[in-house]
Structure 1
Amino acid sequence: MTISKKSELLTSILLAMTGAVLLVSLFGYMRFNIDALQFRVTVQFNEKGYTEVEIPPLGTVRAHTHTAPLLVSVRLENIDLQLIQRLLSDTTERNEVVEQSKTVLQQVAVIFVIKLIGLAMLGGALGVFLTRKGNLKKYIIGSLTGSITAGVLLAAAYLTYDISAFRNPQYTGVLRVAPWMVGLAQETFGKIETVGENLEIIAKNLNLLYERLDNLQPLGETTDEFKILHVSDLHNNPAGMDFVLRVADLFGADMIIDTGDISDFGTPLEALLLEQLNHIDIPYFFIPGNHDAPAIIDRMNQIPNVTVVNGLVEKNGLLFYGVPDPSSADNTVIPSDLSIIPRLTQQVVNRIDQIAPGVDIALLHNDKMARALAGHVPVILFGHNHRMAITQQEGSILVNAGTSGAAGLRGLQTTQIPYSVVLLHFRPDENGQNRLVAADAISVSNLEQGFTLDRRRFDIGE
């Protein structure tokens, strides 16, 4: 073979490899479903061998899993929430789906590899075509070169693949500040059922204690009394949500006010927790927190008896003014910049002061904004900092429900963070206007020591 022919052959091989890389990079993807989840997997040439899992809008988890210069990306594109809800409630069906998923993944892997090799073969022929001197033999050589290139790289990725690399992954996006999510399901979800059962027992015992407390310090309840259960910062804890609904039922609450952070990252998947709210038959006022993204707010707006409060709302003769956290307008979970709090607070104060005959209850998520409203509204309900407290300042009663979900699923991994709610008692005064007369701070410090109930009365002074 002459030097010119060798050079021409080498050029054809290089062009074939380039064509294979180009076509695989452009079209090397595939969509597939595993029951309620739809994924998109892609393969691209990269300096190092990485596998990344993208979960919009949370971010990406990436690990150096293999030596071949390929980037394998798996992106969660769609979720069938109704199907997931059914699977979570049916253990037998869930186990069947897990077994079926293994078969589906094997089939998808085989089909995807065949597609990639086919693309590489076509790309190899395309690379030869670019020389404009192609003939059948050269096209065959180009196709073989492309397929061999893809086959060798895929084989190298398979043979060197190390799934344990995800024990020390790289995070981007929101996941960068929450790496605990990777092992959360394994470490935590098994505890939810036990926690929920214990909280049910505690809720019933609370009711007994509540009756005894009434015997000691009777409020003289009448049919005119209006009871509001104030909750906040559930953070995706199903046990906490169950506890809230049971307490509302056992104590005969007339409505529930939730001052935000019902979710952790505001994703559609987290909206599954909200399905429990479909069963409530009393009004539920919700003020979005910094963890509640538009997807959560949209879902809350679709639930009967739930009102997402943003501005002035009237109920049972009381005027409520709700102020969503500014961060709830987008998909970030970062609290608002402290430097803008004074300006935002002043805007809220100006609006409230212009409302006649006057706002009875202000509903906020941010604790700093709430405290700045003291003196402008008789009762101010808020959360955010996970510290339950009932205080009086400048003639206002400030109520922080703490965290009704014990800081969320993360709270299931510790007994240091209490579950907390506050039951508010309103009664008509001599003018027929409902006023806050008592607040019961209910706190479950941990499941072994039980709970505390602390009543503050405002109709007889300290």
Structure 2
Amino acid sequence: MGPFAARFSVTPSLSGGTEVQIPPLGSLGLASHDGPAHLKVRLDTLDQDRTFALANDTNGLAAASQTAATDVQNGVTRLLTRSIVAGLLGALLLSAIVFRRWRRVLAGVGVAAATLTATGAITAVTFKPGSIEEPTYHGLLANAPAVVGDARRIADQFTKYRDQLQRMVGNISKVYATFSTLPVYQASPDTIRVLHVSDLHLNPAAWTVIAAVVKQYQVNVVVDTGDINDWGSQVEASFVAAIGALGVPYVYVRGNHDSSITAAAVAAQPNAVVLDNQIATVAGLTFAGIGDPRFTPDKEASAEIDDVPGLLDASGSQLAATVDAAGTPVDIALVHDPASAGPLNGAVPLVLAGHRHTRKVSILAPVSGRSETRLMVSGSTGGAGLRGLEGDTPTPLEMTLIYLDPSHTLQAYDEITVGGSGTAEVTIRRRLAADDPDSEPATPASPQSHSASPAPLNSFNPSPSRR
């Protein structure tokens, strides 16, 4: 049945009915018919190849749902055929052993045939097709009615929500440009715009917001500091396909939830550059990046790491050595965990990181004889994925738009925050590079609610001033 290996069985019963077992979640009962036979369907194993094929096929789920009824019908037909043959052969052999006379043997087979025929007739007469709409849930599936009720509408609702987010970003950008009254910083045509995202954690809403910001602000390059997936599995690899649709270069380093499979899937995108202790020039900027040294979904390997801080520090030291050996200035260094940023202090002017799902900007302690280094930690652009729904308030989607002048010097940055799943609020805060990053943020542009009238996404000239 679809990707599952299903075991069908029939047993004598006074009450009849059907039971579908889904280990370890529990089971559901259907009052499908009256006795004397009870049908049991057990979903045993998940075929890996069929599961991958189903996940990678855009029409896989629709096709599986269309063939599910046929799969069940075929399973029941095979079960009945085998049961009838087994019943008749069993009656034949048992009668032959007990009676040893052909007339009595044939009579025994006749009784078995009549019993099977009567069982089938009772089942057919009492069969209730509508019973599937009124199942009885057992075990963890006891919560299924509420889940199914939401699942029937989730696709349509989520599509509307993503479209709303896209309009929201356009609205707030237009408001920000129109009502700014303190023109402290004005982006020039040759300004390089870098969009820093991190920790998407499989949230498809993140791609909608990223695409809107890329278009609204004419972003030159998107930088992703990892955890684009949750488990790093092959099934999740298709999530990164949206990178190619952005139409701008995409620079990426692995997070602790990303595997080599994830990195390979990103690298396969036509506009993507994956860095792992490497240096590359993209959109006129020189980037150095290294993936997180851990892969935390592998619990056995993670348990063997005795010194996580030391491991992260060594990763930063490895990238710092690569930067020093390059002999050319690096504009931006990329790590996933900010704990790896220490060794890069003084080696690069700007370090971008994520991991902590909390936005923070700081200037690292000065190193004698070396230039100042600013560490910018992004919040989760994916709202921490499913983790973001665990608290009372959904985790917001956060990203940072960085402005660099033609000499690749940081001038300003916008902190863009989109309300978490189910909310409709966008906030943009402008900071100047000259400001103390630990000071209170500048007054944000007025948040837009979902009731605001949509603005065309191509109507905004991305040159907002500080509010």
Q: Tell me whether the two structures share a fold, i.e. TM-score over 0.5.
A: yes
Describe the shift of the 1:112–1:451 C-alpha distance in structure 2 as closer, same or farther (beyond 3 A): closer
Q: Is 1:320 the equivalent of 2:288?
A: yes
Superposed CA deviations along residues 304-347 of structure 1, whole A, max 9, x for unmatched, are: 112333221312341311213622785x7998888442232132
Describe the shift of the 1:52–1:326 C-alpha distance in structure 2 as closer, same or farther (beyond 3 A): farther
Q: Which has the higher contact order (CA 8 A, sep 6+)?
A: 2
Describe the shift of the 1:302–1:53 C-alpha distance in structure 2 as closer, same or farther (beyond 3 A): farther
**Residue pair 2:378, 2:400 contacting (<8 A) in 1 also:** yes
| In 2: Cα distance, 1:184 partner to 1:366 partner | 36
Alpha-carbon offset, residue 293 of structure 1? 4.9
Is 393-402 or 239-248 further displaced after alignment?
393-402
Which residue is equivalent to 1:380?
Answer: 351
Which residue is equivalent to 1:116?
Answer: 79
| In 1: Cα distance, 2:362 partner to 2:309 partner | 21
Matches within 5 A, 1:360-439: 360-367=331-338, 369-370=339-340, 372-373=342-343, 375=345, 378=348, 379-395=350-366, 396-408=373-385, 416-429=394-407, 434-439=408-413
| In 2: Cα distance, 1:256 partner to 1:269 partner | 24
**Residue pair 2:198, 2:225 contacting (<8 A) in 1 also:** yes
| In 1: Cα distance, 2:229 partner to 2:58 partner | 17
> Of Structure 1 and Structure 2, which has the larger fraction of its residues in helix?
1
Which residue is equivalent to 1:200?
Answer: 166
| In 2: Cα distance, 1:116 partner to 1:340 partner | 57
Which residue is equivalent to 1:440?
Answer: 414
Alpha-carbon offset, residue 119 of structure 1? 4.0
Superposed CA deviations along residues 416-457 of structure 1, whole A, max 9, x for unmatched, are: 42221101223354xxxx343332211124687733222333
For the residue of structure 2 that corresponds to 1:196, the secondary structure is helix
For the residue of structure 1 that corresponds to 2:188, the secondary structure is coil
Could you tell me which of 233, 241, 252 is aligned with 1:275?
Answer: 241
**Residue pair 1:266, 1:291 contacting (<8 A) in 2 also:** yes
Could you tell me which of 43, 51, 63 is aligned with 1:73?
Answer: 43
Q: Which amino acid aligns with 1:352?
A: L
Aligned pair count? Answer: 395
| In 2: Cα distance, 1:385 partner to 1:277 partner | 23
For the residue of structure 2 that corresponds to 1:243, the secondary structure is helix
Could you tell me which of 41, 45, 60 is aligned with 2:6?
Answer: 41
For the residue of structure 2 that corresponds to 1:165, the secondary structure is strand
Alpha-carbon offset, residue 461 of structure 1? 6.1
**Residue pair 2:25, 2:141 contacting (<8 A) in 1 also:** yes
Which residue is equivalent to 2:312?
Answer: 345
For the residue of structure 1 that corresponds to 2:324, the secondary structure is coil
Which residue is equivalent to 2:68?
Answer: 105
Is 116-125 or 236-245 further displaced after alignment?
116-125
Alpha-carbon offset, residue 399 of structure 1? 1.9
Q: Which amino acid aligns with 2:417?
A: S
For the residue of structure 1 that corresponds to 2:27, the secondary structure is strand
TM-score of the superposition, structure 2-length normalised?
0.65
Q: Is 1:169 the equivalent of 2:141?
A: yes
| In 1: Cα distance, 2:343 partner to 2:149 partner | 41
Matches within 5 A, 1:14-53: 32=2, 38-43=3-8, 51-53=20-22
Q: Percent identity?
A: 20
Superposed CA deviations along residues 27-49 of structure 1, whole A, max 9, x for unmatched, are: xxxx55xxxxx443234799xx9
For the residue of structure 1 that corresponds to 2:427, the secondary structure is strand
For the residue of structure 2 that corresponds to 1:323, the secondary structure is coil
Describe the shift of the 1:337–1:51 C-alpha distance in structure 2 as closer, same or farther (beyond 3 A): farther
Q: Which amino acid aligns with 1:63?
A: S
Describe the shift of the 1:226–1:407 C-alpha distance in structure 2 as closer, same or farther (beyond 3 A): same
Superposed CA deviations along residues 74-102 of structure 1, whole A, max 9, x for unmatched, are: 63633345652698xxxxxx6xx69x72x
Superposed CA deviations along residues 101-136 of structure 1, whole A, max 9, x for unmatched, are: 2xx4343223212323444566679989999x9899
| In 1: Cα distance, 2:418 partner to 2:300 partner | 27
Which residue is equivalent to 1:451?
Answer: 426
Segments of 5+ residues of structure 2 without an aligned counterpart are 12-17, 32-37, 367-372, 438-467
For the residue of structure 2 that corresponds to 1:218, the secondary structure is coil
Superposed CA deviations along residues 36-73 of structure 1, whole A, max 9, x for unmatched, are: xx443234799xx974558xxxxx63336489695601
Superposed CA deviations along residues 180-221 of structure 1, whole A, max 9, x for unmatched, are: 987773474443233223322222234335546596222553
Describe the shift of the 1:70–1:329 C-alpha distance in structure 2 as closer, same or farther (beyond 3 A): same
Describe the shift of the 1:233–1:127 C-alpha distance in structure 2 as closer, same or farther (beyond 3 A): farther
> Of Structure 1 and Structure 2, which has the larger fraction of its residues in strand?
1
Superposed CA deviations along residues 109-167 of structure 1, whole A, max 9, x for unmatched, are: 23212323444566679989999x989969x96xx69x97xx89xx8xx9999844167
Q: Which amino acid aligns with 2:430?
A: R
Which residue is equivalent to 1:246?
Answer: 212
